[in-house]
Chain A
């Protein structure tokens, strides 16, 4: 019964949010697809330039693998951004619309906010991910067996980013300063996830080596590495997968508990 209600609530959220998002379609596509594509562009240009000028190797990347390497990074980047920004933008709007008040008093589990976000998140990223994967395939063909691990890992990435986003969005409705702080901290996460360069890049300087320890506990690094591993056939680390799974299981409960606690304790200000 509980599970059934959770499922139908999540579907209701997904349906409502997709309808709201499609009121202004260009915004929606720009936020989800164009921003990540513009982030990968400089890297594509720099790497291509290097290889065109006769370079043969950047760390372990070669001229046959680098495009696919970057495109897989972009897929995770899209997923990260979508989940992370989801509530930051939405909660602020819904705060002004006062619909957040309406939702806060309905008899639902806040878990359905995350599950609903996952459903409409998937619906919105899947078209872009299919296109990008197709491009990645053109540059470095692989077996169709990667589809299943890809889907699972993308869902994992989405869940973690939605949980982070829920916390960021919540902090922002109580104090809008956080909205900006979190938006910039997203850049930090992207930098420490190795979407656009191999992790060996961090071995080149003592300060970077320090940052490498953070990279190693960043679940996005493990997700993108696992995805590249299955695509290029260089191996699948079970250890990494278990590490990421732990985040996926724990984060929803932590963020929902935090949500409930904060909601009770603070008064929404600054309408």
Chain B
């Protein structure tokens, strides 16, 4: 399979302004620090593949997509899209950043018409009607976008991305903040597209269901790639425990941090998720947990989420 997205040694740094405690010093002699958002990334995504980028907040996903689509220029590294430069493949790319890149002060229809013209879509009226049908937004199109709900705005943004029937799609968190019904609509469209797609998401189920291959981005570096199945094999021998308590006490978290058999843990809505090395260690963990007031303890099959936690060491509990 020829590669659709080929990236070599990509680096992108930001210059972040730091404010000083002393106001005048901050104004007169501002300090800058360099943030390396994308750190020597190599990628080879095949034609027709759906590739998912997973990473914690601030891992560099959005920055990477901005570099790949030409919104920003990287510091160094090479990018080829279907063996062409970004400049040459511009008209064949579809780019979506969640619900943004849409004009709020004009109607949905005017948005689509404007971008259809810039992308040189012939018979744009027909195309817009078709996409509106797919995303079930026909009745919203004559209204100003400022009155749209997030779900409608995201669907409009997705329709905008597909106007010119692009060859390669870059979708940054396409399912962010959507209800289950609209989320399913978007996932179905992505699945049925049959195009090269690079998407980012925070929802492990989405990644598992949609992606042929997944890359885990951590602090700007790709630390693992593979199909969801391959990745899940990495945690096959491990066990993941979900505990619920009204309040995950700091002592418990401190104790878990010290325990050698606890690979990683992180905070969930009503408690913690703990990844332990092996099933045999369960009794040791239970001994610790017994001393705390927990409402529920569950054992889970290892999932993609566990791979993510293990690799990124996401100890977001503290």
Q: A residues engaging B (CB < 8 A)?
A: 5, 8-9, 11-12, 15-16, 19-20, 23, 97-99, 101-108, 264-265, 267-269
CA distance A271 to B95 in the complex (A): 20
Q: Map CB proximity to A onto B94-118 as digits: 1 under 8 Å, 0 otherwise.
A: 0101001111111000100111011
Q: Are B97 and A98 in contact (CB under 8 A)?
A: yes
Given known contacts A97-B104, A98-B100, A105-B90, A265 and B73 CB-to-CB distance under 8 angstroms: yes
Residues of chain A lying within 8 A (CB to CB) of residue B175: none
Residues of chain A lying within 8 A (CB to CB) of residue B58: none
Q: Are B118 and A12 in contact (CB under 8 A)?
A: yes
Given known contacts A19-B110, A105-B69, A105-B70, A12 and B117 CB-to-CB distance under 8 angstroms: yes
B114 interface neighbour in A5, A16, A264, Cβ under 8 Å: A16
Residues of chain A lying within 8 A (CB to CB) of residue B14: 267
A104 interface neighbour in B71, B117, B120, Cβ under 8 Å: B71
Residues of chain B lying within 8 A (CB to CB) of residue A102: 95, 101, 115
CA distance A99 to B105 in the complex (A): 12
Number of interface residues of B (CB under 8 A): 28
Given known contacts A16-B114, A108-B118, A23 and B105 CB-to-CB distance under 8 angstroms: yes
Residues of chain B lying within 8 A (CB to CB) of residue A23: 105-106
Closest 8 CB pairs of A and B: A107-B91, A12-B117, A102-B101, A106-B118, A23-B105, A107-B90, A98-B100, A16-B114
CA distance A241 to B115 in the complex (A): 38
Q: Can you list 28 pairs linking A and B with CB atoms under 8 Å apart?
A: A8-B117, A8-B120, A16-B106, A16-B114, A19-B105, A20-B103, A20-B105, A23-B105, A99-B101, A102-B95, A103-B118, A104-B70, A105-B69, A105-B71, A105-B90, A106-B90, A106-B115, A106-B119, A107-B90, A107-B91, A107-B118, A107-B119, A107-B120, A265-B73, A267-B14, A267-B72, A267-B73, A269-B15
Is B93 close to A, CB under 8 A? yes
Within 8 A of A (CB), among B6-31: 14-15
B117 interface neighbour in A9, A101, A269, Cβ under 8 Å: A9
CA distance A98 to B91 in the complex (A): 19
Residues of chain A lying within 8 A (CB to CB) of residue B72: 267-268
Q: What's the least CB distance linking B37 to chain A, in Å?
A: 10
Q: What's the least CB distance linking A267 to chain B, in Å?
A: 6
Residues of chain A lying within 8 A (CB to CB) of residue B114: 12, 15-16
Q: What's the least CB distance linking B225 to chain A, in Å?
A: 26
Q: What's the least CB distance linking A32 to chain B, in Å?
A: 18
Q: What's the least CB distance linking B255 to chain A, in Å?
A: 42
Residues of chain B lying within 8 A (CB to CB) of residue A101: 66, 71, 97, 101
Closest to B146 in A: A23
CA distance A97 to B145 in the complex (A): 12
Q: A97-B103, A102-B101, A105-B70 are in contact. List 4 more A-B contacts (CB 8 A).
A: A8-B117, A9-B117, A12-B117, A104-B71
CA distance A134 to B90 in the complex (A): 48
Residues of chain B lying within 8 A (CB to CB) of residue A267: 14, 72-73
